[in-house]
């Protein structure tokens, strides 16, 4: 199931703001011959509201890829969109939805969200943007049972890998997605090269601690091409395999 290790599902993040963009992404994946690739599909409110379930998923499936998770960004979290997100997640291979939270107001709705996702047998991961938000979310999540809700963490929300690890590791047992990227002085940099982040350290920590979940290569601050992401996927996959032999 996983690329890299038996515990990790390695994926790339692709964003689609319209059905046309989604078709273009799927075509590039198909042209690259990347069958069985896992992807995180990032959508905003427009396409989530307007596109049907199969309009969202069919292009990816037809390209031979698998959806590890669907990630909602800049979405007004109305009950009808939460349910649609759960429906879409239930039809993906990973059965996971991620909500990138703009703020943590209204956490009283989490129990309602839990019930919705549980009814569709899917998981919902919440994505805090700071150490404080992570602590707040954990405090709320530990009050809820069932294993439906968890955390997603994006390294770009933190200034360094060392800072990120201080936030990430105490809550690793309920973290089900970790997103990595890297940047240099001129923009996006390769994941495993020296840059803002020390990703070899991050990956060694995840593997040595037995992290079980999704590892997503995704760049938020600057756009990257599908071909760039696919190259990084190969490099990270190879690195993970070498780590697996050591731990």
Q: What is the pLDDT of residues 4-35, one digit of tens each?
A: 444 799 999 999 989 999 999 899 888 887 66
Query: Could you give the percent of the chain with pLDDT greater than 70?
Result: 95
Count each helix (H run) and each strand (E run) in the chain, helices first.
9, 10
Tokens for 200, please give them: 């070899």
Residue 17 belongs to some domain of the structure: yes
Q: Would 62 be classed as within a structural domain?
A: yes
Examine residue 3 and state whether it is found in any structural domain, yes or no. Answer: no
pLDDT tens digit string along 169-216? 999 999 999 999 999 998 999 999 999 999 999 999 999 999 999 999
Coil, strand or helix: which one is 182? Answer: coil
The residues near 52 (Cβ < 8 Å, ≥ 6 apart) are: none
**Token pair of 142 as six digits:** 């530990």
* 151 assigned to some structural domain: yes
Average of pLDDT values for 139-157?
A: 91
Strands (E), the chain: 8-16, 38-43, 66-72, 96-100, 123-127, 149-154, 175-180, 183-184, 187-188, 213-217
What was the pLDDT predicted at 104? 64
pLDDT of 95 over the 50 cut: yes
Kindly tell me the sign of the dihedral angle through the C-alpha atoms of 106, 111, 112, 116: positive
The helix/strand/coil state of 52 is coil
Q: How confident is the model at residue 102 (pLDDT cuts 50, 70, 90)?
A: low
By the 8 A CB rule, do 235 and 229 touch? no
Whether residue 234 has pLDDT greater than 50:
yes
| Average pLDDT along the chain | 91
Domain residues for the domain of 105 are 8-246
In a domain, 83, yes or no: yes
1, part of any domain: no
Domain count of the chain?
1
Cα separation, 99 vs 88, whole angstroms: 13
The model carries a pTM of 0.94
Domain with 112 in it: what CATH number? Answer: 3.20.20.150
Residue 2 falls inside a structural domain: no
pLDDT score of 4: 42
The answer to the question of residue 216 being in a domain is yes
Checking if the pLDDT of 1 tops 70, the result is no
Strands 183-184 and 175-180: unpaired
Tokens of 194: 């020296």
């Amino acid at each position: 199931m996983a690329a890299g290790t038996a515990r990790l599902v390695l994926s790339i993040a692709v964003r689609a703001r319209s059905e046309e963009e989604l078709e273009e992404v799927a075509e590039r994946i198909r042209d690259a011959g990347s069958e069985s690739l896992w992807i995180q599909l990032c959508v905003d409110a427009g396409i989530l509201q307007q596109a049907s379930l199969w309009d969202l998923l069919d292009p990816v499936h037809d390209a031979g890829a698998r959806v590890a998770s669907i990630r909602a960004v800049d979405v007004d979290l109305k009950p009808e969109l939460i349910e649609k997100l759960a429906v879409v997640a239930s039809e993906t291979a990973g059965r996971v939805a991620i909500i990138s939270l703009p703020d943590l107001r209204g956490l009283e709705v989490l129990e309602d969200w839990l019930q919705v996702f549980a009814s569709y047998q899917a998981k919902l991961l919440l994505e805090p943007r700071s150490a404080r938000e992570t602590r707040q979310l954990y405090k709320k999540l530990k009050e809820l049972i069932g294993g439906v809700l968890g955390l997603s963490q994006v390294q770009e929300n933190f200034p360094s890998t060392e800072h990120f690890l201080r936030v990430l590791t105490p809550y690793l047992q309920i973290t089900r997605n970790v997103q990595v990227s890297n940047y240099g002085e001129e923009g996006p940099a390769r994941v495993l090269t020296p840059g803002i982040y020390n990703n070899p350290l991050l990956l060694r920590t995840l593997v040595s601690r037995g992290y079980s979940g999704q590892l997503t290569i995704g760049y938020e601050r600057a756009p990257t091409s599908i071909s760039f992401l696919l190259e990084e996927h190969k490099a990270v996959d190879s690195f993970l395999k070498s780590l697996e032999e050591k731990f």
